[in-house]
Structure 1
Amino acid sequence: MEETTRICIVRHGETTWNAEKRIQGQIDIGLNALGQTQATAAAKWLSGQPVAALYSSDLLRARQTAERIAVSLSLLPTLRPEFRERRYGLFEGLTYDESRARYPAEYQAFERRDPDFVIPQGGESLRQLYDRVRTGLQRVATEHQGATVLVVTHGGVLDIVNRLVRGTSLSRPRDFLIPNAGISWVSLCGERWALDTWGGTEHLAMVGLDELP
């Protein structure tokens, strides 16, 4: 009988740039006061879960979220750059509206989710991001077969995770929420991924932002 590996995936808490709808990408922005509260609430909610290992993106907002969860689980977070946010290239530092106004052609390709559109000035395509995230998830699942592990990451990564486990197209419009500090569970049995629960916010006094387009 094949073992099932469970992965809990938590989006980082809110940042000031999330609230401003400003594209962070791999710019290293920390949590704001609300984001710190959200991270603490997620940590309390997850306390007592039988988690074998804790992984996190190495970007500050994810690390700060993971550090609070680590205390509640008595674990040390392992940083994995494959769980970083997508590189948004020339859009990084701009709001979505500013990006649309300043780079209309590039934003149109971004908005229609062209899988092979590489955002200029150091950005990634959705397909490149998919390959990176799939490799990272598979690595974690292989290292902890049959166990429960936790990953703290970003909205763009969670978008890919949802499509990976559901088998939906990268170009399909998003039909799910990705709230700050939302908690999702996926599992892998053999070679079959499954979506168990998605974007849970029961632990939050106020539902976290989903500022992504």
Structure 2
Amino acid sequence: MTRIYLVRHGETDWNRDRRLQGILDVGLNEIGITQGRRIAKRFSSLRALKVYTSPLRRALHTATLLQRHGRDCPVMVEPRLREIDHGAWSGLTMDRIARDFPDEFERWQSRPDRVRPRGGESLQEAYRRATGFLHDFTKTSTGSSVLIVSHGVINALLVCAAWGRHWPGFGISLSRMPA
């Protein structure tokens, strides 16, 4: 049986500042690097581990820390695991989005599936993209352990797909490793 482990990338300065990154390529900060090393240690005992990662630097760096800290495992870059594109909201803090886009922000808080930031991607599009990867992957899965290093929204969508639900917000809690 294949076991799939979902890991969110380590912390960035923008995470700490509550700034939406989306597809903007922000690197890990020192806390994020420490978190990546801890993930490597946590998964060091798994046999036949494969790692799939988003191409964005913060996820790729987290994934490659596995190779550098005790695991000789292949890291495969998968473009469909990149974070959702927040469009006009990218790079803005949550407070700024609430101030500059009050109606959309309010809907996003209550029904994110009904909001698409200007120039961005809808949850439906991100869901189809991420679950397309999951579907393709499970067709060729060979029973090994798999670690998917991705992003908060994408991991939530993958959990929803595994549970047969279509959107995040149904009591899903993605645990985070303390720094």
With normalisation by structure 1, the TM-score equals 0.77
Instruction: Flag the structure with higher helix content.
Output: 2
Contact 1:99/1:107 (8 A) holds in 2: yes
Instruction: Flag the structure with higher strand content.
Output: 1
Contact 1:110/1:119 (8 A) holds in 2: no
Q: Say how many residue pairs are matched.
A: 178
Q: Offset of 1:94 from its aligned partner?
A: 0.5
Listed as ranges, the gaps of 5+ residues in structure 1 are 183-200, 202-206, 209-213
Deviations along 1:163-204, one digit per CA (max 9) or x if unpaired, are: 11122341x63523334xx4xxxxxxxxxxxxxxxxxx4xxx
Q: Of the candidates 82, 85, 88, which is equivalent to residue 83 of structure 2?
A: 85
With normalisation by structure 2, the TM-score equals 0.91
2:51 corresponds to = 54
1:176 corresponds to = 172
1:43 corresponds to = 40
- CA–CA distance in 1 between the matches of 2:41 and 2:23? 28
Q: Runs ≥4 in structure 1, deviation > 4 angstroms?
A: none
- CA–CA distance in 1 between the matches of 2:112 and 2:102? 15
Cα RMSD, aligned residues only: 1.7
Contact 2:50/2:73 (8 A) holds in 1: yes
Listed as ranges, the gaps of 5+ residues in structure 2 are none
1:102 corresponds to = 100
- CA–CA distance in 1 between the matches of 2:97 and 2:2? 40
Q: Percent identity?
A: 31
Q: Offset of 1:125 from its aligned partner?
A: 0.9
2:144 corresponds to = 147
Whichever residue aligns with residue 131 of structure 1, its letter is: R
